[in-house]
């Protein structure tokens, strides 16, 4: 831990939150002199305080340890670059439009790498009078199923949760172009591009 960097970050986050040193100290059960010491870079918080301190400052422990906030470059609103994270323990689906530090059930999650679907694995996409109807013959058992599908365009994203023992069927508003992404619990994340002719 960089004492000076972490101290400067604590001061920055505390003032952005509108807290005095005393208020922050009370929140984490230390003296205001301890907070002053941290902010001056003359010491660092005890490891047992980091989680509480991160919560009080609306940040995370890794950011406090790094002593800086890493801001993501703008993705220029392109939702096709959405990253998907899936927790293997609880099935939680988390998305971000750029790199993020994501944890669930006590584990840090890595973004899934989408593979381009082979012709035989593609989802079927039909225009049925103003809607897209998306289906698949993919196995849908408790051990092996499509957990979710998502439609991504430059400016929007829609996620459709699927469940084991359901038939894979999605109805969504008609779109002419975009990217269809889906997650198989056994084989991972896949994508195919949609181009519906007029």
pLDDT at residue number 75: 43
pTM > 0.85 = no
Output the pLDDT for position 166: 85
Domains present along the chain, CATH in parentheses? 3-66 (1.10.260.40), 79-195 (2.60.40.730)
**Residue 70's pLDDT is what?**
67
Residues of the chain with pLDDT under 70: 70-78, 197-198
- Position 5 scores a pLDDT of 87
Per-residue confidence (pLDDT) for residue 64, from 0 to 100: 84
Q: Name residues whose C-beta falls within 8 Å of residue 177's C-beta, 6 or more positions apart in sequence.
A: 153, 193, 194, 195, 196
Q: What is the pLDDT of residue 74?
A: 43
What dihedral do alpha carbons 17, 18, 23, 24 form, nearest 10°?
30
Would you call 151 exposed, middle or buried from its count of C-beta atoms within 10 A (0-12, 13-18, 19+)?
buried
Of 68, 89, 77, whose CA–CA distance to 6 is shortest?
A: 68
Instruction: List residues bridging with 138 in a β-sheet.
Output: none
pLDDT of residue 36: 93
């Amino acid at each position: 831990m960089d004492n000076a960097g972490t101290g400067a970050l604590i001061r920055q986050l505390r003032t952005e939150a509108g807290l005095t040193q005393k208020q922050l100290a009370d929140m984490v059960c230390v003296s205001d002199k301890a907070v002053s010491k941290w902010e001056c870079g003359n010491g660092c918080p005890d490891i047992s305080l980091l989680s509480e301190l991160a919560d009080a400052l609306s940040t995370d422990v890794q950011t406090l340890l790094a002593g800086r906030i890493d801001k993501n470059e703008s993705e220029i609103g392109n939702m096709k670059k959405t990253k998907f994270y899936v927790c293997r323990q609880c099935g939680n689906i988390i998305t971000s439009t750029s790199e993020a530090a994501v944890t669930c059930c006590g584990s840090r999650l890595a973004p899934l790498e989408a593979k381009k679907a082979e012709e035989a694995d593609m989802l079927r996409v039909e225009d049925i009078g103003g809607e897209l109807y998306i289906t698949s013959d993919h196995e849908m058992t408790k051990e092996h199923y499509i957990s979710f599908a998502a439609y991504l365009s430059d400016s929007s994203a829609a996620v459709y949760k699927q469940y084991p023992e359901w038939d894979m069927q999605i109805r969504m508003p008609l779109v002419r172009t975009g990217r269809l992404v889906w997650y198989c619990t056994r084989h991972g994340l896949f994508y195919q591009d949609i181009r519906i002719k007029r």
